[in-house]
Amino acid sequence: MTELDVILGIDFGGTKVAIGLSDRDGTLLAQRRIDTDAEAGAQQVIDRALAAAAELLADNGHGGPSAIGVVSPGIVLPDEILLAPNVPGWQQLRLRDLVRARFGDLPVAVGTDVKAAGLAEARWGALRGVDPAVFLYLGTGLAAAIVLGGKVLAGANGAAGEIGYNLRGVSDTDGFASGSAPLEEAVGGRGLGRRVSALTGRPTSAAELFELAKQDPAAKELLTDALDELSVHVANLAIAIDPVRIAVGGGLVRSAEVVLPPLRYRLSQAVPFPPALVPAEFDQDGALRGAIALALDA
């Protein structure tokens, strides 16, 4: 394999950055992860990630990639990133320009992490050959990628599938205008962590909530209510899209035995033509594989 055969993918997440090399078939050849250290700001994340990518290439005998795919939370545009407030300065980044400044003028594709993960599932994973379909991300945040005609629906502003902004009731009259994401703040991983922390009186993560719910009635009630609410929104999405299959990925799927049954039940009871609900093929590295898919398309 020559250096011109390798594809570089970078997935910027809220807590980690995943970096990977693949061949032209999308097969991962090498990976590396670094901490985001979000509180230290955006520029240091970019600098450390691009340095780590260069090291990964060198360690595997490659001087440079033939194409690069970069994905991030939010709506990734050429000169800014919208709806991504968790890393200070992230919304002012020009990702494509920064990557080219490090690696030269070669094909660089940028995109939203969840949509990229949906593309990976449609191309190589649990949604391959299925149309229409939905990739549902349940992690720190909450979003969906809608696959139609073999492509992921972008929407007029790149925000199709941003179901974390769904209203929970009539009191959420201007969730988007205020910058809040009502559903994500209630049932996303970060939101669940805040809610269970208020319950325990100490910093507690969403992962800990699943353990607590096994013995603590209040934690169990919190988790049950959250999954019940999430299942309503997933069912409504299925009614609107009429997908053949929904693949679920993200960190919360580590507790698939708890998360998936209430979603599956609601789909079976509420949706006229219930789709199959399955775990994603790439439940933990889908966005990285999606970055590689974007690079291959570039």
239 touches 270 (CB < 8 A): yes
Q: Which among 104, 48, 96, 107 has a CA at the least distance from the CA of 72? A: 96
pLDDT at 2: 45
pLDDT at 140: 86
79 touches 267 (CB < 8 A): no
In whole angstroms, give the CA distance from residue 140 to residue 36: 14
Q: How many CA atoms lie within 13 A of 191 on its CB side?
A: 20
C-alpha angle 267/146/75, rounded to 5°? 125
Q: What is the pLDDT along the chain (298 residues), one digit of tens a residue?
A: 444 589 999 999 888 999 999 999 999 999 999 998 888 888 899 999 999 999 999 999 888 899 999 999 999 987 889 988 778 888 888 999 999 999 998 999 999 999 999 999 999 999 999 999 999 999 888 999 999 998 999 999 999 999 999 999 766 655 445 568 899 999 999 899 999 999 999 999 999 999 999 999 999 999 999 999 999 999 999 999 999 999 999 989 999 999 999 999 999 999 999 999 999 999 789 999 999 999 999 8
Residue type, 217: P
Which backbone phi and psi does 70 adopt, to 5 degrees?
A: -130, 130
Please tell me the pTM assigned to this model.
0.92
The distance from CA 282 to its chain's CA centroid, rounded to whole angstroms, is 11
143 touches 160 (CB < 8 A): no
C-alpha angle 29/14/187, rounded to 5°? 115
pLDDT at 3: 45
